[in-house]
């Protein structure tokens, strides 16, 4: 299976950061969740991340 390409990583990271900006006020929360998602992006395929992010956001990721 191919690894995430840079564009897919940017899309995922952008979605995560948009969610964080709307839902977390504490900077440390941003760092923890962003770090977790970046670590996941190193391991999982984009379609796996899409499912994870859907659950994390409680909405469907396009």
Domain ranges of the chain: 6-57
Cα-Cα end-to-end distance for the chain? 21
For the packed helices 46-57 and 6-23, what is the interaxial angle rounded to 10 degrees? 10
Whether 12 contacts 20, CB under 8 Å? no
* pLDDT tens column, 1-54: 455 677 777 787 777 777 767 766 665 666 677 777 777 767 666 676 677 666
pTM: 0.36
pLDDT at 5 (0 to 100): 74
């Amino acid at each position: 299976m191919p690894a995430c390409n840079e564009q897919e990583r940017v899309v995922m990271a952008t979605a995560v950061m948009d969610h964080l900006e709307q839902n977390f006020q504490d900077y440390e929360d941003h760092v923890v969740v962003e770090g977790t998602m970046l670590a996941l992006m190193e391991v999982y395929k984009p379609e796996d991340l899409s499912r994870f992010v859907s659950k994390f956001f409680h909405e469907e990721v396009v």
